[in-house]
Amino acid sequence: MPREGVRQRERDELAHVRRRHKPLLVVLNKLDTLRPDDRERMVADTAAKLGLSAESVVGAAFDPLPVLVDAPSGVGLVQAWLLDAVASAGRDPHGLRAFLEAGRGRAGRSGAPGAAG
């Protein structure tokens, strides 16, 4: 989502997911480009504008600019949410867990898919 906030396209996509009654996590990537004080405000503002709980919107920096922050953030939280959503759907999360763990060995500064955080 751009700095100017939630666009109509994102609202339409959210409505589509809600109609399908699917688990939902909104991830705001690239929060490392915002000032630290603005990061939490952006997450809270997005949750309010979308009518979501605070737990349904998270901030992340999957591939952060090294001059702004030292390491990726939010990756571990998103991975944990994915594993929980798979298990909650009654499916075996083993394959997803193996994929995420394999990604940790390959992920360098790219933050994909298993970077720390």
Q: What is this structure's pTM?
A: 0.76
Q: Domain count of the chain? A: 1
Please report, rounded to a whole number, the percentage of residues in the chain having pLDDT higher than 70: 85
25, burial (CB in 10 Å: exposed 0-12, middle 13-18, buried 19+): middle
The predicted model gives 38-67 an average pLDDT of: 92
Q: Is residue 48 domain-resident?
A: yes
Q: Is residue 114 domain-resident?
A: no
Residue 46: domain span: 8-106
Q: Is residue 111 domain-resident?
A: no
Q: Is residue 95 domain-resident?
A: yes
Q: In whole angstroms, give the CA distance from residue 16 to residue 11.
A: 9
Residue with tokens 């915002």: 34
**70: β partners:** none
> Does residue 101 have a pLDDT over 60?
yes
pLDDT at residue number 25: 95
Please compute, for residue 97, the number of CA atoms within 13 A of its CA located in the half-sphere on the CB side.
Answer: 10
pLDDT at residue number 114: 45
Q: In whole angstroms, give the CA distance from residue 64 to residue 50.
A: 25
